[in-house]
Amino acid sequence: MSDIYDLAILGGGPAGITAAIYASRARLNTIWIDKNFAPGGQITATYEVDNYPGMPGISGMDLGEAFGEHARKLGLEPQREKILSLENISGEVKTIRTKKHEYQAKTLILAFGAEHRKLDIPGEDDLGGLGVSYCATCDGAFYKDRTAVVVGGGNVAAEDAVFLSGLCEKVYLVHRRDALRADKAIQEKVFACENIEMVWDSVPLEILGQEEVTGLKIRNVKTEEERELKADGVFIAVGIVPSTALVKDQLKLDENGYICAGEDGVTSAPGVFAAGDIRTKALRQIVTAVSDGANAVASAQKYLWRTDNGNH
């Protein structure tokens, strides 16, 4: 490819799509690349989104499609390719290699997102969106007056259990050790909730159900005893894995592997910006990803103006 683009947007979740919309409106010469066929990233796996303003109850697939359609109306669609490598990203012109092509751009917006760490047990994928969730604040309202299981022992798991205890009739908190890793203040909240039952020294074996979740099969790591917890929902909170493999040796990352970048998206490499779940931030939601996409384009424009790399 002989063209040198003003901007390359990498990723097709809410952050990447919003960046595409803003880049199109800014009339930047843009290449947009996403390996997934359906627009929306992680949200396409969400059965129902109930916290995006103005669209209560929309399915994740429909919301992703609406986002993608907005970008299409402005004339921008992603190249459906898997990126194999990013080269010279600290240089004036950055190189993106895919299986079929090589692209060059003056600025990059990295919007690869992050993935919830999975349990990798039977039933997890089959019942995704049918009772298996990785976000209690997103999906907890669907389990009002029902029974839920939270798997994990850190701050997120403990906070999820407390949050769900205000909605659910009963909450099981399953942890593989005999003490939580969560901060003491959060632990105190957990132990103060009468409808939270701690299930210590236990690991999940299988998420049960056909059309929807009916329970979780667990094993006690000390006694080897196996049993089933009856539940309507299983909330998995065992960590998040940022999709930073392509840049882990080229950008400054935090201790958890996220790209160090503030709300402006500015990273340790000139002309490279991070947006969405891939960057260091307190809250990872659709609304914050959308904001990141807009901010990253604004930062890319400033960079282009400052370096006289375009007539914008």
- Catalytically active residues, by annotation: 135, 138-139
Which two three-digit tokens encode residue 39?
């627009």
Backbone angles phi, psi at 135, to 5 degrees: -145, 100
Coil, strand or helix at 43: helix
Neighbours of 43 (CB within 10 A): 24
The residue type at 236? I
Angle subtended at Cα 127 by Cα 172 and Cα 214, rounded to the nearest 5 degrees: 45
Q: Is 241 helix (H, G, I), strand (E, B) or coil?
A: strand
Q: Which residues pair with 235 in a beta bridge?
A: 133, 150
Is residue 20 a contact partner of residue 32, using CB atoms and an 8 Å limit? yes
